[in-house]
Amino acid sequence: MRQLTVVDKRRLEWLDAPEPKLQGSGEAIVRPLAVATCDLDREIVRGTTPFPLPIALGHECIGEVTDVGDDVTAISAGDVVAIPFQISCGTCDACREGRTGNCATVPFLSMYGFGAAGGDWGGALSDVVRVPYAEHMLVPLPAGVEPAAVASVGDNISDAWRTVAPHLEARPGASVLVVGGGAWSIGLYAAGIAVALGAEQVDYMDSAPDRLERAGRLGATPVPVDDENRERPGRYDVTVDASGEHPGLRTALRATAPDGVCTSVSIFFEEETPLPLFEMYSKCVTFHTGRCHARPAMPRALELVSRGKLQPGLVTKAIVPWEEAAEALRAHEGKHVVVRASQTG
C-alpha cells in the first residue's frame, strides 16, 4: 500500500509500505475517507519538532471499516467511524478513568502519525490502518454528519472540548476567553464549543483577520490584537491559550478570573517558559497543560455536531483531493482536510 511520509524537512513522498493485517480477534482494518491536518502537522513537515523522521503523516481520521476480528461484534465492515489518534485499550485503570492518552496496556505515547515517537503505528494518510481494541477505540459517525466536517474529532476537536466543556458543566454560563494563534484550529473549535454549550460570553483574541472572521461565524466575539501588545481584555472564568507563544500564554493566564481555570493547548518545545506565577497564586488560578485524552470526548463532540449546535466545517480552510495531499501539505497554513474522491461530492 501507499502512505504519505515526511522523509525530510518539507519533503513528502507517497511511499510503499506493507499493508496492515488483523493481528488479533479484537482488531479492525479501516480505510481512511477524510483525514484532517493537525495544528502540529505543519511543524512536523517543517522539521521543527523533536520527533525523528521519517513520519507517516496523519492522525485525525474518519474511515470505513473493511475488516474486523472474530471478537468484534459492535462494529461491522462498511461502518463509517472516527478513530482517536491515541491507542488505548479501554479496560485498564487509566482508560476506565478517562485517561486514555496514558493507557497502561500499550507503550507510552502510542499514537498514529508520529513515526517512531508514537510507536510506528503508521499514519492515516494511507490506504488502510490497523486499529487494535476496535470496539473501544472506534466511534460510529452519527447519521447525517459528513466525514470531512468532523475529520478532526479524533484529536483537535476533542482537544478543544476538554478546554471548555468540563468547566462549563461545573459553572454553567461561565465567561470564556480564547487566545488564538499557533494552535490554529483548536482555538477556533474551543470558541465554537463554548458558544454551543451556552457560555454567557465567548471572546476570541487573535491577530489574524482570517481566524477572527471564522471565530465570528462560530458565534464568538472577535477581539483583534497586535502581537506586540497583548493587553489583558478583562476577567474570564475560563481561558484557553491556543497562541503557541509566550505572550499569548501570559495574556490568557493574566485574564483568568479569581478561582478560574486556564488550559493551554500550546506546545512549547523550549526548556523554560515564563509564567506570571505570583498573580496566578494570588487569584487561586487552576492551570492545566498537557495532551488531551481524546477518546472520552469524541462521542459528546459528535453529538453537538449531530444536533446542529457546532459547525466544525467553518474552521476548515481547504478540502484537498487525496492525490494532491503531498503538494498541499508541504506549505499548508490552517486546517486542511484530505478526502478520497468518493467524499468530494
CATH number of the domain at 81, please. Answer: 3.90.180.10
Whether 47 has a pLDDT exceeding 70, the answer reads yes
Q: Are residues 233 and 320 in the same domain?
A: no
Q: Nine-digit cell at 129?
A: 490502518
Q: Which domain holds residue 167?
A: 157-289
**What digits encode the pLDDT tens for the residues 74-128?**
999 999 999 999 999 999 999 999 999 999 999 999 999 999 999 999 999 999 9
**What digits encode the pLDDT tens for the residues 48-71?**
999 999 999 999 999 999 999 999
| Contact criterion met (CB below 8 Å) for 99 and 90 | no
Q: Are residues 172 and 58 in the same domain?
A: no
DSSP 3-state of 134: helix
Look at residue 345 in the predicted model and tell me its pLDDT: 45
**Interatomic CA distance for residues 65 and 294, integer angstroms:** 20
Of the candidates 243, 250, 193, 239, which has an alpha carbon nearest to the alpha carbon of residue 220? 193
**What digits encode the pLDDT tens for the residues 142-201?**
999 999 999 999 999 999 999 999 999 999 999 999 999 989 899 999 999 999 999 999
CATH of the domain at 266: 3.40.50.720
Q: Are residues 7 and 140 in the same domain?
A: yes
pLDDT tier at 229, thresholds 50, 70, 90: low
Whether 232 has a pLDDT exceeding 90, the answer reads no
Q: Are residues 162 and 58 in the same domain?
A: no
Look at residue 280 in the predicted model and tell me its pLDDT: 96
Q: Are residues 304 and 285 in the same domain?
A: no
Q: Are residues 135 and 6 in the same domain?
A: yes
Q: Are residues 177 and 121 in the same domain?
A: no
Q: Nine-digit cell at 303?
A: 453529538
Look at residue 226 in the predicted model and tell me its pLDDT: 76
Q: Are residues 182 and 250 in the same domain?
A: yes
